[in-house]
Structures are given as structure tokens and as C-alpha cells.
Structure 1
Amino acid sequence: MPLLDIHDLAISFAGSPRPALDGASLSIGPGETLGLVGESGSGKSVTALAVLGLLPPAGRVLRGRISFDGVDLTAGGEAVVAPLRGRAISMVFQNPRRALNPLRRVGRLIGDVLRAHAARGEGRHLTGARLRARVVELLAAVGIPDPGRRADAYPFELSGGMCQRVMIAIALAGNPRLLIADEPTTGLDVTTQAIILDLIDDLARARGMATILITHDLAVAAERCRRLAVMRDGRVVEAGPTARLLAAPAHPYTAALIRATPGPTTRIEDLGA
């Protein structure tokens, strides 16, 4: 049985002439890595926000179902989604500098999340020195050097790559079964991008997490994901094993994405073909 199953999901936003999602369907199994690819505006991030119940007030689910581990999230609403958010399902947002509160130290940001989980019955006695130790442990787990000192830093004192590691530490604080990484390397240099993606891969394997990697970069998804789902205009137009989909795309849009992905010998003229 899939861990996450989205079926015929349609979402509209007030004032928009067309739905943001128009019958999107996809699934991911336990421990699997799925690449969700497509151009900007195709509905990738809206899909992720819908799973977490984080649609803005203007968003409305028109039809469809989101099921997590057999539980219908769309029918249950906030009462069902809230206990899962950050614990069973976590998300790494793009642009960590905007996602992190600049007025709180890194350790306080992570500690807030840990305390929120404790309030729901997980780690009720995680306070004081034990809370601090857990914060430092999470920072160390995502490869931040001198984690004790970094816990006292503000986000603006850290590099973009370090801020993204903090975001990953926050996402892991509740030991989720599903991690959604939404363009996790936005704004990072190529070397740091590879380090962050390697980190997500390693953590997912070590923890047995299912991972959805949202990206517009087909080459990145092809390298990192065993299975791909291609989105266009609010729908998943094609999904399947990465090797099969790249070798024999069934949808013209997938074929166009592949042609538009530069390789080592690609010429500028080839991208316009």
C-alpha cells in the first residue's frame, strides 16, 4: 500500500481563472524517493502544501483525495493533518533565509519545533539541558560543524548552505516518515547544491524515510530519484521508473523536458530544437 496516495486532486485559488491543480494523481511508497518535476507554475509546490494542509486562505480543494498511510487527510481536515505535520510528514522549503525567523537563534528555532512535538505527547520531559542536547544532536546530524556554537547563531550569521542544513534539522526533528524537499537547493552554488542533496539522500536512507524531491531540474531528479512524476498545468502527465521514463517517454511534454535538459555535449542550438 502506498504511504502517500493523491488521487484526482483539484485546487483553485480565489481570483484565478483556472485551477492550480486539475486532477493531479501520484503516489509514493515507504522508503521510496520520488522526483516531482515540471516547469514553474505546473503545480508542484501547491501539491506539497496541500499534503501538509498549508494552503493559503484563498486556496480551496474542489475534489480529490489525499491519503497518508490509509488516512484520508482531505476528509479529516486540520484535526487530522495537524498531528501529522512535522512528525509523520515534514517539508524542507526553498529559500531557507526567508523560511527561518531572523530574530531567533538557530537553537531556539529547532527547540520550538521540539517543544511543539513534546506538547503532542512526544518527549514530554525534553526540557533544559536535554532539549539543548537534542538540538545540538540534530545540528550535528545534518553536518553542521561546531554545532554547540552554531546553535547560538542567528540565521543571518550563517551561509545559505548552513541555513538549509538548519531547515533540514528542523524537518527531521519529529522523525518523519515522509520528507518533502521543495527546490531545496534554490540560490545555492553548484558545489553546495550537491552537498545538500547528498545529505538528504543519506538521511533518507539512514532513517528509512520516503522522500519527494520537487525540482524543475530534470537532470537532478534523474540522478537522485528511482521514480519520476512529471507535472504540467496542474496534472501529472506521466509517472514511472526513472530509467524507463527517460529512455522512452510516453508524453510529448516529458520528451520536451528531456530535450531541454543540457548534457555535456549539448549545444545552444540543440536546446531550441
Structure 2
Amino acid sequence: MKVYIGTGGYTNDDWIGEDLLYPPGTKQTEFLSLYAQHFDAVELNSSFYGIPGLKAFEGMVRKSAGRTRFAVKLNKVFTHERNPQDSDFDRMLQSPQPLREAGMMGPYLAQFPYSFHRTPGNRTYLRELAERFAGHELAVEFRNQGWDRPEVRDGLREFGLIWVSPDYPPVAGVPEPALHITAPVAYLRLHGRNSGNWWSGESAAERHDYRYHQAEMDEWADKIAFVDGEVDEVYVFFENTTKGHALKNIPMLRQALNARGVPVSAPQPSSQPLSGDLL
């Protein structure tokens, strides 16, 4: 079982500074090259707002130097607006080809909003989406608890979809924090447990303003170690990127997994390390 660990996005001004990921003065065009020296996976956020073209993905391959797997988030037209045209499917499926050719393509991520309830219409839409992405790994995150049912996961297995196992704050209406397996690939998103800001926060940064404790990382390490042998790959993405929380939590999870006999490591940097506790 191969475990890939990274964060939701790599463009974050909170990570610029002494003893952080990006040294003072780092330009945004340099972020990915530095990120890839320390993390072997990343969720691509930019594709949610606009589908990058082939040249943009070629640049990602070049800057990351083959060290990092990319989970590509579906554009909002697929998950929030839910009115994709054939041209949207063509671009979403074809543009990441440079990642595939370089062996750096992870799953697609369909991040549905809380307003995406389990209704007959939405179930039909999800089935049609699965059919259009057949032959590609597609991970699906449901933020509404109505989907958190064994029969839903059975349906995902039938269509070859990956259930996204989320770690949300302990608030009503969201799925429970459990690691479920519906495909040879497991996908975990750690959102933090800021229950005070989850519904009231005005931005994603506020909602994800949370740093996990070691005991919480140990809990997830136990769950990941438990599925060793059941899956080929596990993707773990920390969404609590605010204030550099994820940068502190990733070494904690790595250490906990290694202690449980699940080997994980950071990519070997091609230049000088930026911070000892990141490696």
C-alpha cells in the first residue's frame, strides 16, 4: 500500500516566511517547485475555477519534476452548477494528459457542496457523471450526511467510484469521520475540526483554521494502517492550510504511520531543505 500525503492546493501566502515552506521573497511561480521537494501529492484547486489547458499542465509536470501526484478537482460546472457541456467534459478529460504521460496523475475529485442532497435527480446526475468519467479514477466527496449510507457506498463500488472519507468538525449534518473503501484507491480529506466556524465562517480559510493534535493524527494513522492490504493506494490531503497548520500536521501523520509499519516519506529535495520539521 502506497500512501501519498499532501495539501489542498500549493498557492498559499500563509506559507511564506522564515522556517515555513516558502522563503521570504518567493514568487508564486516558484511555489510548486518548492512544494514538490517536500510533498508527494497535491490537490489542484485552480481547476475548480477554470480548467487549465495542456500547456499549464505541462508546466506543472516540469516544475514538480515528477515528484508529486496531482489529484485534479473537477471544475465547478460539474459539481456546483451541474450543467456541463460536451466541451467541458472534453477539456476536463484531455487537458491533464501531460500528467498521465508523466505518471503523475492521481484521481479526479468531485467536491459536491452541502446543498447537493440525496435526491432522485442528483442520484441520476451522479450516475451520468460516473459514466462520462468511466476509465478514469473519480473520487466523490459528499458534504451532506444524507449520502453517508452503506447503500450509497455500494453504488459507488458498482460504478468504480472512490468514496472520499472526510474529517469534518463534530457538527450536525455532515458525514461521520470514518475511512470507507469502495475502490482500490482510498481518498481522505482532513478539513480540521473547527466546529465554531464551520457553518458561520465567511471563508474557507476561517473554516479550516484548525491544527490537529497528535492524538487525532494517531486516530487516523490507526484507520489507515487497518486497511493496509485492502487498497493499493491511499491519498491523504490536509485542507487546513490556513496559518500553516497542515505543514505542522503532515510530519505528525508521517511519524504515526511509520510507527505503525506503514512506510511514508517525503520526496528527496533537489536543493537545500527549507525546514527540518517538514522532511
Q: With a CA cutoff of 8 Å and minimum separation of 6, indicate the structure with the bigger relative contact order.
A: 1
TM-score band, normalised by shorter chain: 0.3 to 0.5
Q: Is the radius of gyration larger for structure 1 or structure 2?
A: 1
- TM-score normalised by the chain length of structure 1: 0.39
